[in-house]
Amino acid sequence: MKTPDSSLSLLAKTVAASVALALGAGCAAVTQVGTSIGQATGIVSAEQSESINRSAQAIEKTFQDITPEQEYYIGRSVAATVLNTYKPFDQQQANNYLNLLGQTIAQFSNKPETFGGYHMLLMDSDEINAFAAPGGLVMISRGMVRCCKTEDELVAVLAHEVSHVDHQHGLKAIRRGRLTSALTTLGATAGQTLGGAELAEVTKAFEGTIGDITSTMMNNGYSRTTEYEADKGAVTIMKKLGYNPAALIAMLEQMQTKLQPGGHDFAKTHPAPELRIAELKKLLGTPPAPPVLEARQKRFEKAMSGI
């Protein structure tokens, strides 16, 4: 016979497992399965089970509650934090061309309109790096541009970044539970000025949010699945826009030869180019390298001559 202690411990484990499932998967269905099992085995009461389901739903709702306006403010501070480490490359001609490409690309994504729109900027760094802040602020390094021999390849890089924005990968890096108080209880009324204590609490949640996103983007990297999702999104955008998606493979082949092992850039935060190429080939087969078109090549070389 089970002792009361072991029942309690089993209950605690089941509840913990259910909550962990809910947090990990972010999926109410999974939680409900977890709590149903708990209920069926008699170790979680209907009341306890309802409470677990309720908190899991609250967490999911919190993520959905990030409005495009809030995403915009998160993105601005993420971009400013990135630019605190990587100085901008202040060359108008190159940045204008990058925006011409980037803003055109964005119009063929699933989310062409964001609160503040898409804007691109070059970073003055030899590292091979690129960042997409929530809401559409995209920054790419000179080292990354040097992996691109053609306009089509630069389009592939930007389309991958736009795809991160489109899929809200940055927001998904926010630690679960971080936003609950900021989004549900504080500053709940439009146009209300926050008082001292309330403002301090929302700003704390905001700082934590920016930290979660920038540490993921700059240090830990997204999961492989997330990067493959962005590559797949890039292929879709390029096809819609009328660029050859094989340019993404060509760019990754060049990146493979340039990445330094142990580097603090894509060498650390992204799956190896060869793995990304293998995933892309599942989608595209083994396409021939895209032809170099004179008009595109001329404007690409002119704009990026200082890179």
Partner 1 sequence: MKRPDKRWLTVGWIAIAAAALAAGPAAMSVQVKNGQVRATPSFLGQLIAPVSYGDRLPVLEQQGDWSKVTLSGGQTGWIHNSALSKKKIVMKAGGETADAGVSGEEVAHAGKGFNAQVEADFKSKNQNIDFSWVDKMEQIKVTPEAIQQFLKEGGIQPNEGGKP
Residues near partner 1, by CB under 8 A: 67-70, 72-74, 76-77, 79-81, 83-84, 88, 95-96, 99-100, 103-104, 107-108, 110-117, 119-121, 137, 151, 182-183, 186-194, 199-200, 202-203, 206-207, 209-210, 239-243, 293, 295-296, 299
Q: Which is nearer to partner 1, 95 or 216 (CB)?
A: 95
Please, where are the H alpha helices in the chain? 4-25, 28-40, 46-64, 68-85, 92-106, 142-145, 151-166, 169-172, 180-184, 196-215, 224-241, 246-258, 266-269, 273-284, 294-303
Q: Which residues pair with 119 in a beta bridge?
A: 137
State the Cα torsion 259-260-261-263 to the nearest 10°: -100
Q: Which is nearer to partner 1, 30 or 186 (CB)?
A: 186
**Shortest distance, CB of residue 167 to partner 1, whole angstroms?**
13
Identify the sign of the CA torsion 169, 175, 180, 181. negative
- If we measure between CA atoms, which residue out of 28, 118, 27 comes closest to residue 75? 118
**Shortest distance, CB of residue 211 to partner 1, whole angstroms?**
11
CA–CA separation, 283 and 299 (whole Å) = 30
Please give the helix or strand (H or E) that residue 137 lies within, else none.
strand 137-141
Q: Which is nearer to partner 1, 84 or 257 (CB)?
A: 84
Q: Which is nearer to partner 1, 43 or 210 (CB)?
A: 210
Q: Which is nearer to partner 1, 46 or 200 (CB)?
A: 200
CA–CA separation, 182 and 214 (whole Å) = 19
Count other Cβ atoms within 10 Å, centred on residue 41.
11
Q: Which is nearer to partner 1, 124 or 274 (CB)?
A: 124
CA–CA separation, 162 and 233 (whole Å) = 9
**Shortest distance, CB of residue 227 to partner 1, whole angstroms?**
23
Q: Which is nearer to partner 1, 49 or 214 (CB)?
A: 214
**Shortest distance, CB of residue 155 to partner 1, whole angstroms?**
9
**Shortest distance, CB of residue 189 to partner 1, whole angstroms?**
5
**Shortest distance, CB of residue 165 to partner 1, whole angstroms?**
11
**Shortest distance, CB of residue 2 to partner 1, whole angstroms?**
43
Q: Three-state DSSP class for 101?
A: helix
